[in-house]
Amino acid sequence: MSGALLAATLRDPAQATGYDAPTWNALIAAARAEQLIGTLAHRLDGQGISEAAQRILTDARASTDQGRILALWEAEACRRALVTLNVPVVLLKGTAYVAADMSAGQGRMIGDLDILVPRDRIETVEHALIEAGWEWVKPDPYDDAYYRQWMHELPPLIHRERDRMIDVHHTILPLTAQITPDADAMIRDSVTLANGLRVLNPQDMICHAVAHLLADGDLAGGMRNLWDIHCMLSGFGTQGLEERARLHGLHRHVRRAARLANALYGTAIPQDWRTRDSVDALFKKRLLARDGWGQVRPKWVEHGFFIRSHWLRMPPAMLARHLWTKWRKGHRPN
Amino acid sequence: MRHVFAVRIGPVGFRVGSDWRAPVAALEHLYRDYPKPDDDIPDFSVRLFAARFWRRFVRPSVMIGGDYYLPDAAPLPLRLGLLAAEMGMNLQMALAQRRYLLLHASAVERDGRALVMTGMSGAGKSTLAALLMTRGWRLMGDEFALVDPATGLVHGFPRLISLKNQAIGVMEAACPDGRFGPLQPDTPKGDIRHLVPHARAIQAMRDPAKPALILFPGFGHAADERPVLPGEAFVRLTQASTNFVAMGETGFDVLTSLVKNTPARAIDYPDTETALAMVERLWSEIV
């Protein structure tokens, strides 16, 4: 499976010098599907590899370098829109990694701008963004109401000129999830950058990445999220991490993520964290489920985790009502 | 994937994987004189697949996927499998090409110099390029022209020429011994028939050319011609480029130098004979 090939290559770039054409083709397809092609290009920098493969990786680097410029510019546009409100604005995920110049940001693809603001100021923030040219994406009243009542973020907004999305969070997991991380503590203990924007402190950054990977969503694109976690665990270490994770109710998830990062990418983790867990194998199977064309295989693993993601998000009665509403609106699962 | 085809078009390598034999067989036949990707490592993968397993067999319909894809793209019936493959390859170029500034334009070459023609769908850029090919020009491409940021040269992308509706009859008459693909009626864009470019276009497809003239043709009006100043050419070419924005400063620099250094003309024409005469006259005056 090409997921395992991608993980092994990121872990040990030197082995790529011996790859034949079919191996390269599987590797590139998997890296593109997992949005890790820019990261792969950085990792393979300086390795003597075939010219055709090198060209593809050079293009990927140029593309993610440009993405970095756009992401930072979008953060700056957001800063300008909110600067007079005197609200702490915390950058999350990819934009935070490049703004703080972390190794997780090297070659990383960045889509939307994600920010975290205090929940009691979210309406003020929303109005200021709309004043500055952002617009709602979801015209559907059910979706809009659902976001506002149950989600950890506003319905996505898109800027009408730059065509870039912003997700405004007030916490890091849906309100319906069983776990309630301490968003106030995250904002209070965040780190201010030179331009006045903030990023989470190292432990909270790891907790957020872990929550995003293991406590929410269906693990689609999970290899990249786990790579982020690998880079942060390697750069920040695990000092104080368990205690902080416990505050957010994420300590078991952090341990699992650390074990998975260790298994896939060889991340250094404390000896007493290296316990055996029978469910890890299932997560590994989902994370690495790519064939030589970048398709998710086997399909049942994908479906299983898709169902799990809904189970994590909603209590059963609510889930039933949600699925019924979506079905009536013509939505069908793939 | 069960069936696989690989090809290089201009400087770009592709592999196409398919759940069905038929699209790959059609590609193998029409692209038989083309080379394989460099080092057998294609730049892009295209996948033609059934949305559900049983749709391979029952009313088979082809989903277009690949390294890059549009999430809401509608499937095509299997009889249009060749078209689906071509669309899949074009999609990779439109969404993900970053090595070259990609212009939605046709291009032909003579004496190492390129004539680039761009315009709205229906302006005739594809038909004019195909007709010029039959009159001694080297076809560089009927759909995309690739501008190299490092050199400013135009690289060709001579995929199968995609003839639509009336252009099919025009080219069957102009190119009686040409190698045509099967007629594909009732596609989302009307009737389509592919034409294999001349052997010379395929043999020389790696050779770039210096851009010498940019034309903006418009079909259906009395013959007319006017110069297009660099500012207008710039704006019109940004609209004709799929990756101008994505390439950032590099894209801006390469397009700026293209319009500064290349004369541009807009021509209106009532019929293709008039257009071809105008092209030849302009070429001899300007180049």
Instruction: Indicate the range of A232-241, A272-281, B144-153, B205-214 predicted with least confidence.
Output: A272-281
- Residue A304, pLDDT score: 82
Q: What is the ipTM of this complex?
A: 0.94
Kindly state whether residue A13 falls inside one of the protein's structural domains.
yes
Contact A69 B248 (CB under 8 A): yes
| CB contacts, 8 Å: A33 with chain B | 67
- Residue A322, pLDDT score: 79
Mean pLDDT along residues A91-118: 97
B85: pLDDT strictly greater than 90? yes
Taking a C-beta distance cutoff of 8 angstroms, is the pair B108, B86 a contact?
no
Contact A63 B250 (CB under 8 A): no
Tens of pLDDT, residues A171-209:
999 888 889 999 999 999 999 999 999 999 999 999 999
Closest to B141 (Cα-Cα) out of B114, B173, B108: B108
Kindly state whether residue A333 falls inside one of the protein's structural domains.
no
- Residue B58, pLDDT score: 84
Domain range holding A116?
Answer: 2-328
Kindly state whether residue A140 falls inside one of the protein's structural domains.
yes
Contact B41 A59 (CB under 8 A): no
The pair phi, psi for residue B216, each rounded to 5°, is: -115, 90
- Residue A16, pLDDT score: 96
Amino acid present at B201? A
* Residue B171 or residue B123, greater confidence: B171
Amino acid present at B195? L
* Residue A145 or residue A107, greater confidence: A107
Contact A63 B246 (CB under 8 A): yes
- Residue B11, pLDDT score: 97
Mean pLDDT along residues A203-229: 94
B3: pLDDT strictly greater than 80? yes
Mean pLDDT along residues B75-103: 96
Average pLDDT, chain A: 93
A91: pLDDT strictly greater than 80? yes
Tens of pLDDT, residues B160-179:
999 999 999 999 999 999 99
| CB contacts, 8 Å: A63 with chain B | 98, 246
CATH code for the domain in which residue A213 is found: 3.30.460.40
Tokens of A50: 């075939």
Mean pLDDT along residues A88-98: 98
- Residue A310, pLDDT score: 79
| CB contacts, 8 Å: B36 with chain A | none
Number of structural domains (chain A) is 1
The class level of CATH for B101-286 reads alpha beta
Contact with chain B for residue A16, Cβ under 8 A: no
Contact B67 A55 (CB under 8 A): no
Q: How confident is the model at residue B249 (pLDDT cuts 50, 70, 90)?
A: very high
Amino acid present at A213? L
Kindly state whether residue A206 falls inside one of the protein's structural domains.
yes
| Cα–Cα distances in angstroms (integers) from residue B11 to residues B42, B138, B240, in the given order | 10, 16, 20
- Residue A323, pLDDT score: 78
Instruction: Indicate the range of A53-57, A300-304, B36-40, B283-287 predicted with least confidence.
Output: A300-304
Taking a C-beta distance cutoff of 8 angstroms, is the pair B221, B269 a contact?
yes
In B27-120, the DSSP E strands lie at 44-49, 61-66, 76-77, 101-110, 113-118
Mean pLDDT along residues B175-185: 94
A1: pLDDT strictly greater than 80? no
Instruction: Indicate the range of A26-30, A269-273, A312-316, B31-35 predicted with least confidence.
Output: A312-316
| CB contacts, 8 Å: B67 with chain A | 28-29, 32-33, 294
A334: pLDDT strictly greater than 70? no
Contact with chain B for residue A162, Cβ under 8 A: no
Contact with chain B for residue A31, Cβ under 8 A: no
* Residue B238 or residue A175, greater confidence: B238
Contact with chain A for residue B43, Cβ under 8 A: yes
3-state secondary structure of B94: helix
| CB contacts, 8 Å: A32 with chain B | 67-68
**Chains A, B: CB contacts under 8 A, how many?**
54
- Residue A332, pLDDT score: 63
Instruction: Indicate which of B7, B12, B41, B99 best probes the interface with A, i.e. most A CBs within 10 Å of its own CB.
Output: B41
Instruction: Indicate which of A6, A59, A162, A293 best probes the interface with B, i.e. most B CBs within 10 Å of its own CB.
Output: A293
Closest to A96 (Cα-Cα) out of A216, A234, A214, A192: A192
| Residue among A24, A69, A294 whose CB faces B41 most closely | A24
Which stretches within A119-247 are classed as H helix?
A: 122-131, 141-150, 183-188, 202-214, 222-236, 241-247
Contact with chain A for residue B250, Cβ under 8 A: yes
- Residue B121, pLDDT score: 73
Closest to B184 (Cα-Cα) out of B161, B158, B165: B165
| CB contacts, 8 Å: A25 with chain B | 15, 40-42, 45
Contact A295 B47 (CB under 8 A): yes
Instruction: Indicate the range of A144-158, A233-247, B220-234 predicted with least confidence.
Output: A144-158
Kindly state whether residue A334 falls inside one of the protein's structural domains.
no
Closest to B145 (Cα-Cα) out of B92, B88, B96, B107: B107
Contact with chain A for residue B155, Cβ under 8 A: no
Indicate the domain borders of chain B.
3-96, 101-286
Q: Residue A166 forms beta bridges with which residues?
A: A113, A157
Taking a C-beta distance cutoff of 8 angstroms, is the pair A207, A245 a contact?
yes
Contact with chain A for residue B98, Cβ under 8 A: yes
Contact with chain B for residue A52, Cβ under 8 A: yes
A313: pLDDT strictly greater than 80? no
